[in-house]
Amino acid sequence: MQNYTYSVFDIDRVGMPEDEFLNKMAHEGWDLFLINNEPQNDYPGTLVKFYFRKKKLSFLEQFFDFG
């Protein structure tokens, strides 16, 4: 069973263009696995959240590259 670390970002609060942000996260080893649109009480407000995950490394994987 794989364990993951998760991170969630509201894309409107990131402060950079979406493509640059996605490239940055991919370069850091994060996988985008979900984009969720959350409607707000005041229409047409919608929060767009990006959900990322990264595989947690075992103790040995932290020190050695088994790939």
In a domain, 29, yes or no: yes
In a domain, 38, yes or no: yes
In a domain, 63, yes or no: no
> How many CA atoms within 13 Å lie on the side-chain side of 55?
7
Phi, psi of 27 (to 5 degrees): -60, -30
Q: Give the residue numbers spanning the domain of 25.
A: 4-55
CATH of the domain at 27: 2.20.20
Residue 33 has pLDDT above 80, yes or no: yes
Residue 63 has pLDDT above 90, yes or no: no
In a domain, 28, yes or no: yes
pLDDT digits (tens, 9 = 90+) for 1-22: 578 999 999 988 999 999 999 9
Q: Does the pTM of the predicted model rise above 0.85?
A: no
Number of domains in the chain: 1
